[in-house]
Amino acid sequence: MKFIKIILLILSIGLFVSCSINNPSKLRETQAFTQVYRVVGEDKVIVRAITNQASCPSIQWDNSPPSRLSTRVGAEDISIRINTDQVPSKFSVTTCEIEWPNGVSQANINGQTLKALKSNLQRIVIIGDTGCRLKASENAFQDCNSIEKWPFAQTIQSAFNTNPDLVVHVGDIHYRESPCPESREGCKNSPWGYGFDAWNADFFIPAKLLLDATPWVFVRGNHEACSRAGQGWHRFVDIRPWNEKLSCNDPKNDDFANYTEPYAVQIGKSSQIVVFDSANMPSKDIKPKDFSYQVYKNQIKKAEDLAKNKEFNIFANHHPISIVSPLKKDSSAGDLELKLNSLGMLMNNIKGESLLSSSFNATLHGHVHTVQAISYQFPRPISLISGNGGSALEDLKVKKINLSQSQMDQMKIQKFESFLDFGFATLDRQDQNGSKWLFTEYNREGKIIFSCSMNKNQTDCNN
Ligand SMILES: [Fe+2]
C-alpha cells in the first residue's frame, strides 16, 4: 500500500511539472504572485495589486502604521457571456486596491517603494496596441514567443530607460482571443480567451518593469469593449469603483458598461489630458438614431467643459479621429487621404472641421498600428497616433509616408511625420507650466526617430 502511495505521488509530481513547463502562466499561478501597479484618474491615484494570495497586501504610507488594501473583486470563473466559441473567463487572482492619500510622499508595499505622482510632470511615455495578436477569424497569429516578432517587453524596457513620470496606454491591451493553431511554433502554448492568463501574458508579465516603477493612465480600446476583453478592463485597469453593472459579465448591461464619462488628468500646472472612452465606437457613421450618438454627443460636451479649466489640453481616445490613410492596403504613396473616423465625423457635425474647440491643442490615439504626427493649415488640434507598442504592425506597402507639398496642401496639412515600426513616444514638458510640449517618437531599441515641438495647435518637427 505504501509503495502504491509513493508511485502515485511521483506520478502526480511528474504531471504537475509537465503541465507547468508547457504553460508558464500556470506555474506562475501556483507560486505566490502579487503584482502592484498604480492607475491614475481625475485627482486621484489608486494603488492596485493583483494577487493569488488569500488576502490583499498591506501598504505603509510614509511612516504611518500599515493599512491593508481592500478587495476590489475576488478570484472567480465567469461563464461564457454569449453563445460563441469562446471559453469561460477564469480570473484566478484577486484585485485589491486603495486610494493614495493626499500629502503622502511615498509608500512601501510588498517590498517595493512607490513615490507619489508628481503634479508637474516632466516626461510622459505614450504606448499603445501592445498585446500579441491571436485572432482566428482573421487568420492572424503573431509569434508571441518571439521578442523579435512581438517586442512589447523590449518596448517597455526602452520606455523604462527614459525614466518617465507617467505612462499613458492609448488602448488595446489584450489581443489573445483565439487558440494558437497546433502547427504554429511561434505562439505554441499561448494562453487565450478573456481570463487572467491571457491578460497576464499580454500585459502584466511584459509590462512589469514600468508597472512597478510608474503610475499609468489607461485609455480604453475597442479590444476592451464588453464583447471582447471588457471583463478584464473593469477588473484590472478601469479607474471607476467596482460595479457589477460595469463588469461586462452580463451583456444586458453593455449599454451602460461600454461607456465611461470623460475625465481629466493633470499633467502640468496649466495642462491636462482629457481621457475619452471610444471603445464601443462603430466603424460606420454614427447616426442620430444610434444609442451611441447621444452618449458620445454628451460626452464630447463634457470633455469640452473639462478643457476650459486649463491652457493646454490633450484629448485622448483610442480611435484616431483624423488620420492620413491609404485609400487601399496596397496603395502607393500617391493614394492617400485625410480621413475622419465616425467619432471625427460626429465632431465635424457638431463643431465643423476644427472637430473640437480651440481649448484642445492635440488629440492622442492608438488603434492604427503605426505612428503619425499631423498639424493642420486650419484650426484643428494636432493629431498624435502612437499604436506601435507591440501588436502586429499595419500591413502597408508604404513603410514611411512622405507627403509632397502639393499633397500636404491638398489635405491642408501644415506638418506631417510618420513611422511604421515598433516603438513608443514621449511627451516632454518644455516650459514651467506645461503649455508647451515635445512629442518624440522612439523605436523599440530606444533610438529617437523624430520629434515635434507643440505650441498651441502648431508643430515644428525634426528627424
Ligand atoms: Fe484598436
Query: What per-residue confidence (pLDDT) applies to 31?
Result: 87
Rg (CA), the chain: 23
The pLDDT value given to residue 416: 95
The answer to whether residue 383 is domain-embedded is yes
Domain count, the chain: 1
Q: Are 456 and 361 in contact, with CB atoms under 8 Å apart?
A: yes
- pLDDT tens, residue by residue, 267-309: 999 999 999 999 999 988 899 999 999 999 999 999 999 999 8
Tell how far the Cα of 175 is from the centroid of ligand 1, in angstroms: 10
- Ligand 1 centroid to Cα of residue 445, in Å, is 24
How close is the Cα of 13 to the center of ligand 1, in Å? 42
- CA of 248 from ligand 1 middle (Å) equals 18
CA 6 / ligand 1 centre spacing (Å): 53
CA of 3 to the centre of ligand 1 (A): 57
Q: Cβ distance 125 to 166 under 8 Å?
A: yes
Report which of 127, 450, 117 is spatially closest to residue 268, judged by C-alpha positions: 117
What's the confidence (pLDDT) of residue 7?
A: 44
pLDDT score, position 11: 42
Answer yes or no: is 301 within a domain.
yes
pLDDT at 55: 96
**Structural domain contains residue 348:** yes
Type of residue found at 71? T
Beta strands in 289-328 (DSSP E): 312-316, 322-326
pLDDT of residue 335: 81
CA of 359 from ligand 1 middle (Å) equals: 26
Tell me if 90 is assigned to some domain: yes
The DSSP string of 6-26 is: HHHHHHHHHHHHHHHHH-HHH
CA 197 – ligand 1 centroid, Å? 21
pLDDT attached to residue 15:
38
CA of 276 to the centre of ligand 1 (A): 14
Please report the pLDDT score of residue 21 as a whole number: 34
Provide the pLDDT for residue 331. 54
Residue 278 sits in a domain whose CATH number is 3.60.21.10
Give residue 198's domain range. 34-462
Q: Which pLDDT value is given to residue 328?
A: 64
Below-70 pLDDT ranges, the chain: 1-30, 83-85, 327-334, 397-399
Ligand 1 centroid distance, CA of 52 (Å) = 30
Q: Is residue 10 situated within a structural domain?
A: no
The verdict on residue 17 lying in a domain is no
**Cα 266 to averaged position of ligand 1 atoms, centre (Å):** 25
Residue-wise DSSP of 192-221:
-SSSHHHHIIIIITTTHHHHHHS-EEEPPP
pLDDT one-digit tens code per residue, 213-262? 999 999 999 999 999 999 999 999 999 999 999 999 999 999 999 999 99
Handedness of CA 107, 235, 296, 131 (dihedral sign): positive
**What's the CA-to-centroid distance between 300 and ligand 1, angstroms?**
20
pLDDT of 149 = 97
Domain assignment present for residue 27? The answer is: no
**13 in any annotated domain:** no
pLDDT at res. 455? 87
Give the Å distance between the CA of 320 and the centre of ligand 1: 9
